[in-house]
Amino acid sequence: MLAVLFVVALMNSLRSAGDRFDEMLHGEQYVSKGFGIDIGTFQVDELSKEAERAGLRKGDAVVAVNGRTVQGLTDIEGPARRARKGDRLLLHIRRRGAEGSIEKDISVPLRPFTYVGYAPGSAAYAGTILSRILTHLFCLALGFWVASVRIGDRAAWTLLILMLSLANIITDSRTIFGNDDALQPFLTGLTGLLIRLGPLALVYFAIIFPERLAFDRKFPWVKWIVLAPMLARAAVDGVGGGLVAHHRDLNTLLWPLIQA
């Protein structure tokens, strides 16, 4: 089990690290959307001045991108990931107004990528490598090393979950939603699950390490009053994260539960 978890976590980490290096080396070719999407409604919830001038509005529901019906967030992030400087996204949107719902096409300009100007050797370049690549890999290395040398220790496994949670926080939508291969929904769901498991692991670790609290030995059920809702939230977020990548309709059905 530990070996399988290591392979999956390493694969996810290397994919993220590869994106970061690619962005730093070729950032002048890449672009970003210039608008944000609410994952529960698939409506625009933030936008750049360029997107606003093109006619996009907050509250617009994105129905299709570049002629392809949006089935999940990957259908929005993927085209932006594949686009290059000078490209535009053709959005088919649905807008509700005083006179009812209308649909229209909007050609949205794309913004230059964030990492443009991060020259090799610069402080920003070194900082990105340290904070977004090496820190990620260090968390994985520490967590799996502790779990492997103390395989039967609950505290070691709890620390592993905590380290995996920290590692998965260091990512972005370009990586977790921009790939449209078969692995992406699984890895996206796993990322959401592990991020939410971090606080749970931290609370549980404090209870059992270095010695189990006397109160917990006497009343072991009390901790689950706190931990059970956190565990349920992590499971729902994990499933929701996987669904929002490719299954918009199923995610819409689950969204009220996620909000609750």
Domain boundary among 112, 140, 161: 112
For residues 62 and 80, membership in a common domain is answered with: yes
Q: Give the pLDDT score at 116.
A: 55
Q: Count the domains in the chain.
A: 2
Q: Is 40 helix (H, G, I), strand (E, B) or coil?
A: coil
Q: Give the pLDDT score at 62.
A: 94
Domain boundary among 87, 112, 137: 112
Q: Give the pLDDT score at 120.
A: 67
For residues 224 and 144, membership in a common domain is answered with: yes
CA distance 109 to 87: 7
Instruction: Give mean pLDDT in consecutive 10-residue pieces for the chain, a chain of 260 residues.
Output: 90 87 82 87 89 92 94 91 91 86 91 67 77 90 95 94 91 83 84 91 92 93 92 87 82 73
Is residue 25 one of the residues assigned to a domain? no
Q: Give the pLDDT score at 97.
A: 76
Domain boundary among 77, 112, 147: 112
For residues 164 and 101, membership in a common domain is answered with: no
Q: Whose CA is closest to 159, among 176, 170, 145?
A: 145
Q: Give the pLDDT score at 119.
A: 64
For residues 54 and 97, membership in a common domain is answered with: yes
